[in-house]
Amino acid sequence: MERSGIVEAIATGHEESTPSQKAIRNEETVQLTEMIQELPPDQSRAVYMRHIEGKTLSEIASELDRSTQAVASLLKRGLEQLRQIKKFHE
């Protein structure tokens, strides 16, 4: 599954970070969380659990009482909408 640019930026480089890189990543996490809250509730929960909490598709499916395929669809639609939201905020 393709990640949006902001999600990718947050997900990489955790081990070897300077204080300024950590501050930037924290700000990006806040921005991402705010954008995720603009998604429909199910997409928001799925995207948050996957990209902020780092849960697997199976874990998300279990918590949302959905199939892994349904969760994958929620994530795909959620990330597509996040890209649109990010463009709107730029």
Residue 29 near residue 53 (C-beta atoms within 8 A): no
* Separation of alpha carbons 90 and 87, rounded Å: 5
For the chain, what is the domain count? 1
Q: pLDDT digit of tens for each residue in the chain (90 aa)?
A: 444 555 554 454 455 678 888 888 888 888 888 899 999 999 999 999 998 899 999 999 999 999 999 999 999 999 999 999 888 877
75: domain CATH number is 1.10.10.10
Distances (CA, A) of 82 to 2, 7, 22, 24, 78: 12, 10, 23, 19, 6
> What is the span of the domain harbouring residue 65?
5-89
